[in-house]
Structure 1
Amino acid sequence: MRAQKSIVVLPFQNISKERKHEYFADGLTEELINTLSRIQELKVTARTSAYAYKHQSEDVRKIGKDLGVALALEGSTRLAGSRVRVSVQLVRTKDGFQIWSERYDLDFKDIFQVQDEICLTIADQIREHFGHFVFEDQLVTSATESMDAYSSFLEARYHQLKWNVDHFQTAIRLYERCLQLDPTFHQAHYGLVQCYGMLATWGAMDREEAMTKADQHFTEGFKLNPHNFEAYFAIANKAMWVEWKPNKALGRLNQALALKPHDPEALEASAECYLALGDFEQAGHCIDRAIDVNPLSANHFFIQGNIHYYQGQFQEAMACYAISLQIDTEWEMSRQAMALTYVLTEDRPGLGEFLFANPHLKDVQFFGPLFDALHHGKKMPLEALEESTDTYLPWKFWALWYAGEEEKALEQLQFGIDNQLSQYIYFAHDPVNRPLKSNETFIQLAERVFDKLPAAPLPADKVESPLISPADQLAYATKLNKLMTEDRVYTEPSLTLRKLSAKMELNTNKLSWLINEVIGKNFNEYVNGLRLEAFKKNAASPNYREYSLLGIALDCGFNSKSVFNEFFKKQEGITPSAWLKMQKE
């Protein structure tokens, strides 16, 4: 089902002569996604799902259905020296109808102004077509005064999102160049934090050196701008995965979500925090919201599967893991979880088939012995332990416990907790550990593993108060009625909410609220309704007998034949010509 106030920004095409300028097309796409995502009541498809359609020729109607969005923004960029051409079109996914299009020819130094204009126009169009919501008069501000620094930033981000070691190293060089050109560009510092963090995690760089550099850049970025999404998100990640303090992490994630209410990464991170605390209901709520804006994320469905898995809802978990693997057949964490769930459901044939189909599964040699240990009381062999690195699952702990080495197993569990190894963070809820639930040491470890602050709930939806006081509503409604009935401003084909607000001398957000909440229609329904009544009156009048139906419609303010015909049939249930014929009978 398509949410009405919803949009996907599809990857812009690079039509520059040089392929290397693709970074600019991708960068502009991501900037538009990030900006629109900050509007509270607007559902914006996340980058991961939007980029599933990069270099694809998928019909926009199918894209809208797959992603559950009403609108799609398509575009292209051409970069030549300091000159830029940006072409955009806003398309209704229900039927492929183009609502708005524009072409911008500009100097690169004006790119922030154009980004703001595009985002404001999109927000205006959605509000006019689908109903009221509030947003600021300026959505984009200049990230830097150095356009060379901004160009380097976009190029660095382009390489960072390629997610491999060589591209991370290229991104680091470009982020560093960005900071040489503008030392105050805080986003570049946070980009370096992410790159060094990933190189450390992947073992592609000395861990201590990489983490030292990441900490240095985080400190510098935080000094420059402590109150931004990247800062809150970075602090939350450190609190969760380095300090194992999920409550502290949730506090920072709430601050991040206050700035970007629908960010799927922050929502996913919140789900992981609640999962660690055993609050499965809140975890499910968060991951459902993440999937709503990012339905093609393999990791979101992996997390959703985990929420079911840790509650012992194994069939539901496997369904989620299956979706994750449909999205990305190589998503190793979902493959690991799927194999483990076959073990817990006592499905030996299913496990065998899955392992046969995935011969390169990490630590594949342990699943069969774990099955026999859990269901047939056989001890796990310890010979293979040296081959395990606990990459995804805590095999060292499990193998020791199910080999009968309980004391060593608990020492290994303590080691995993003391060193904040991610494979152990959910140990208190893992169904594999059910035999330990009565073990006193296990109970004590589970009770003291996390910070004991009360879990921070997600911010509640705000209850909006009227934007216009009851005393002023009648006055403004009367003024609006005069503009429409006496001045007939609805006959202006280019009339927009912003133009009407200027005539009303009333803030655009307030006028939108007045039309939607007091009159009970969105802007397009209201204005086109007046145009339709004028058309019907004129079409039935002898004075307009020599006019074509389209001529009368255009005279009443409709700006195209397709808009007129669609609105008329939606309201009257028949075509204009059929309606006129009925009037003559």
Structure 2
Amino acid sequence: MLNKSIVVLPFKNLSGDATNDYFCDGITEEIINALSQIDGLKVIARTTAFAFKGKPTDIRIIGNELGVSNAVEGSIRIIKNRIRITAQLTRTDNGFLLWSEKFDRELNDVFELQDEISLLIADKIRENFGHIDIDESLATIDTHNLSAYQLYLKGRYYQLTWNLPNIEKAIGFYKKASEFDASYADPVIAIGWCYAINASWGYMDREEGLNKANYYLDKGLAMNPDSYIGYFAKATIHFWGNWQFKEGFQDLQNCLNINPHFTEGMEALAELFTATGYFGKALEQTELILKINPLSPNHHYTKGNIHYLQGAYETALGSFENSLKLDNSFPLSRHLKVACLLFLKRKQVMMDYAKQFLSDKYLAMLEAIYESIHNQKEIEYDDLLVSEDLNLMVYWDFYYLAHSKKTEEALERFELLINQRIGQVINFQFDPFLEPLRHTSKYQDLVQQVFSSIKLLNDNLEFEKKPESKTVVVDAEIIDFREKIKGFLQEDKVYLDSEISLRTLAQQMKMHPNKLSKLVNDAMQTNFNELMNSHRLAHFKEIAADPKNSHITLLGLAYDSGFNSKTVFNTYFKKVEGVSPRKWLSANS
């Protein structure tokens, strides 16, 4: 049986106005977020889904690449105050269209419309692939102010570029969104998240940035205590900003208990495990992340970094190469690819690759470090090569200092980096370039200062796990259901209605759709669509073999049996009978 899994591809902007891209992206993301709430449904994360934006799509190739059985495609057209959305759900194994629909609504109806589309998609997956519990609403938007929502989506659009000037733009849009709806928590939390990132990575004054971040996050979480983004942003402050590992772990636990499928939270957890030496747990997280977000260059980098810090340079190199296949300019992967090549003694390959993005002074430092490590050559120290800038992606100059036997100067720089909690050196206790400093008492004191209180994890500390299915049936219900469904199938012949759905049948049977889905799955050992089509096929064979219906076309008889399209009928018939309807009829008439 195909797995219950889906990718929601970016909805196309057909408005004739490229400035509406942010809105199409936002709606796509909201549908991804809504479907991600369903236990038992694998939903490909945003980063991977958006890797296909603007590219030709072959659903079967995408499905095979991502390991999913369904794909959603759609388009959006905004004309004045109206929005038109088309959406379709397709099986990726055979390109078979399971569902499609067009929606033409007032723009103000977009909130309910996103929920409606998400529920329809979820229903079709359940009907075709087996039981999942679906809530009455999957909506994740906590405003009904269209202007505030549009401004929030614009901010999100810019924030997700992770470009410093665009993050500043994002903050501006988020602040405007809050002015339109003061009760809307998402933009307030997003402002805090932006400040937390900028401060933690040295893009603004650290103390000022973290103070602003805490102000907005505390305010936003008071408005919405169930915001997983809020807890994730708090973790950014505690973990990356202050190196408070225990508090960061608790924030991430809160975040992932609310949304266990949030890949950024899972990645942050992997990074926290890495910094504190729990490499096995870190790899567990990265493997989970890559199942739902396989096209994220950052996730492949994270996996590579775990192997790199353990000295498995060949394995790490493979992950960095995977990252760079997705984004050949991804900075961290480029730098650590160089580091792996250095430790693997591939000097010429290392230098040739490094020349593509490193300046001459860094190339000189790199060559000197290589010769010091592998050939025990003493470095002729050149202080003009060393930068005073503390906001570098990788600290080649610091490594150069450490390997130049400038131990005191290196330790001074090291202490400054640690006291300022520079995120780039958070993994220092496993950094292979710091080997010359490890024997010093100063280095050991700094390790103690940062990590002495790390007692946050043990084998018994795990995240709460939600049950995959909330709906439970017992044997007595199964027996009763078999008798009840018999009446609806044999007497009422509900399958003859081509528009029958699991939800409409549940209404007729005075039963919750989740309960009906679970009973069909457990009592009948099939899914809803298979149950209906098996009875439609039996009905077709009965009426097609009757001579009095010989004047009716096979397609006409198929429609009379409840099939709703020629393709559905022919595909299902051949799957069950192994021959076409016409050949079957010739052999049985």
Report the TM-score when normalising by structure 1. Answer: 0.93
Read off the aligned partner of 1:251 and give its amino acid letter. Q
CA 141–401 in structure 1, closer or farther in 2 if over 3 Å, else same:
closer
Instruction: Indicate if the aligned counterparts of 2:402 and 2:436 stay in contact, CA closer than 8 A.
Output: no
SS in 1 for 2:386: helix
Partner of 1:487: 492
Match runs of 1:84-99 below 5 Å: 84-99=83-98
Distance (Å, rounded) in 2 between the aligned partners of 1:134 and 1:100: 20
Query: How far is the alpha carbon of 1:85 from its aligned partner?
Result: 1.6
| Equivalent residues in 2 for 1:525-564, closer than 5 Å | 525-564=530-569
Match of 1:321 in 2: 320
How far apart are residue 470 of structure 1 and its match?
2.5
Matched with 1:419 is 420
Q: 1:237, CA displacement in angstroms?
A: 1.5
CA contact (8 A) 1:10 1:72 kept: yes
Asked if 1:467 corresponds to 2:472, the answer is: yes
- Residue 499 of structure 2 aligns to a residue in which SS? coil
State the alpha-carbon separation in 2 of the partners of residues 534 and 276 from structure 1.
64
Quote how far apart the aligned CAs of 1:269 are: 0.9
Report the Cα distance in structure 2 between the residues aligned to 1:272 and 1:348, rounded to whole angstroms: 29
Aligned partner of 1:318: which letter? L
Percent identical among aligned pairs is 37
AA aligned opposite 1:372: E
With over 3 angstroms needed to count, the CA separation of the structure-2 counterparts of 1:6 and 1:402, relative to structure 1, is same
- 1:306 alignment partner in structure 2: 305
What amino acid is aligned across from residue 480 of structure 2 in structure 1? A
Q: Report the residue type matching 1:334 in the other structure.
A: S
Which residue number corresponds to residue 429 of structure 1? 430
The one-letter code sitting in structure 2 at the alignment partner of 1:507 is: H
Q: Is contact 1:428–1:446 with CA below 8 Å preserved after alignment?
A: yes
Within a 5 Å distance, the mapping from 1:372-411 to structure 2 comes to 372-380=371-379, 381-384=381-384, 386-387=386-387, 389=389, 391-395=392-396, 397-411=398-412
| More displaced stretch, 461-470 vs 47-56 | 461-470
Amino acid at match of 1:453: L
What is the Cα deviation at residue 263 of structure 1? 1.7
Deviation at 1:40? Answer: 2.2
Give 1:461 deviation, angstroms.
6.0
What is the DSSP-based 3-state SS (H/G/I as helix, E as strand, rest coil) of the residue aligned with 2:87?
strand
Deviations 1:468-512 (A, max 9, x none): 233222112211122111111111111111011111211111111
Q: Is the 8 A contact 1:247 1:273 kept in 2?
A: no
Which residue of structure 2 lines up, in the alignment, with residue 515 of structure 1?
520
**CA displacement, residues 176-225 of structure 1 (integer Å, 9 cap, x when unaligned):** 22111111111011221233345556766555544433332222212211
Match of 1:252 in 2: 251
Which amino acid is 1:565 matched to?
Answer: N
Cα–Cα, structure 1 residues 198 and 279, in superposed 2: closer, same or farther, change >3 Å? closer
- Report the secondary structure of 2:355's partner residue: helix
User: Which residue of 2 is the match for residue 349 of structure 1?
Assistant: 348
**2:506 aligned partner:** 501
The aligned runs of 1:185-204 (5 Å cut-off) are 185-200=184-199
> Deviation at 1:9?
1.6
Q: Which letter maps to 1:520?
A: Q
Distance 2:172 2:448 in 1: 45
Q: How many correspondences in the alignment?
A: 583
C-alpha distance in 2 between matches for 1:90 and 1:361: 53
Tell whether 2:571 aligns with 1:566: yes
Larger CA deviation: 362-371 vs 23-32: 362-371
Q: Following the alignment from structure 2 to structure 1, what is the Cα–Cα distance between the partners of residues 86 and 213?
A: 38
Counterpart residue type for residue 28 of structure 1 = I
Indicate conservation of the 8 Å contact 2:362/2:385, yes or no. no
CA apart distance, 1:290 = 1.3
1:69 matched residue in structure 2: 68
**Secondary structure at the counterpart of residue 500 of structure 1:** helix
Task: Give distance in 1, aligned partners of 2:283 and 2:35.
Answer: 25
State the AA in 2 paired with 1:386. Answer: V
Partners in 2 of 1:98 and 1:306 — Cα distance?
A: 41
Please say if 1:106 is aligned against 2:105.
yes
Letter in 2 for 1:321: F
Do the aligned residues in 2 keep the contact of 1:157 with 1:171 (CA within 8 Å)? yes
Residue 167 of structure 1: how far off its partner (Å): 3.1
- The aligned runs of 1:200-219 (5 Å cut-off) are 200=199, 206-219=205-218
Please, which runs of 5 or more residues in structure 2 have no aligned partner? none
AA of the residue aligned to 1:556: S
Q: Is the partner of 2:588 in helix, strand or coil?
A: helix
SS at match of 1:506: coil
Match of 1:346, SS state, is coil
Secondary structure in structure 2 of the residue aligned to 1:449: helix
In the alignment, the residues of structure 1 paired with residue 478 and residue 263 of structure 2 have an alpha-carbon distance, to the nearest angstrom, of: 38
Q: Normalized against structure 2, the TM-score is what? A: 0.92
Code of the residue aligned with 1:180 in structure 2: it is E
Q: Are 2:257 and 2:463, in contact at CA under 8 Å, matched by a contact in 1?
A: no
Computed over aligned residues only, the root mean square deviation of the Cα atoms, in angstroms, reads 2.5
**Distance in 1 between residues matched to 2:428 and 2:173, nearest whole Å:** 40
CA separation of 1:181 and 1:357: change in aligned 2, threshold 3 A: closer
1:412-434 alpha-carbon deviations (Å, 9 max, x no partner): 43333332222221122223345
For 1:508 and 1:486, locate their aligned partners in 2 and report how far apart those are by CA, in whole Å: 21
Alignment of 1:142-161 (within 5 A): 143-161=142-160
* Paired AA for residue 454 in structure 1: L
Q: For 1:128-177, what per-residue CA distance to the aligned partner results, in whole angstroms no more than 9, with x for missing partners? A: 11111112111116522322212222222223334434433332222222
SS at match of 2:156: helix
Q: Aligned equivalents of 2:587 and 2:128: distance in 1?
A: 30
Residue identity matched to 1:504: M
Name the CA shift for 1:479/1:362 in 2 (closer, same or farther; >3 Å).
farther
Matched AA of 1:184: S
Structure 2: distance between partners of 1:239 and 1:174: 26
543-552 vs 260-269, which deviates more? 543-552
Further displaced range: 56-65 or 179-188:
56-65
Aligned counterpart, 1:577 = 582
- Match of 1:103, SS state, is strand
Structure 2 distance, partners of 1:387, 1:67, is: 43
C-alpha distance in structure 1 between counterparts of 2:187 and 2:171, whole Å:
9
Question: Which residue identity lines up with residue 127 of structure 1 in the other structure?
Answer: R
Q: CA deviation at 1:307?
A: 1.4
Q: Is the 8 A contact 2:32 2:45 kept in 1?
A: yes
Q: Larger deviation: 245-254 or 30-39?
A: 245-254
Counterpart-to-counterpart distance in 2, 1:458 and 1:434: 35
Matched residue type, 1:510: K
Residues 492-537 of structure 1: CA distance to partner in whole angstroms, max 9, x if unpaired?
1111110111112111111111111222111111211122222223
Corresponding residue of 2:456: 453
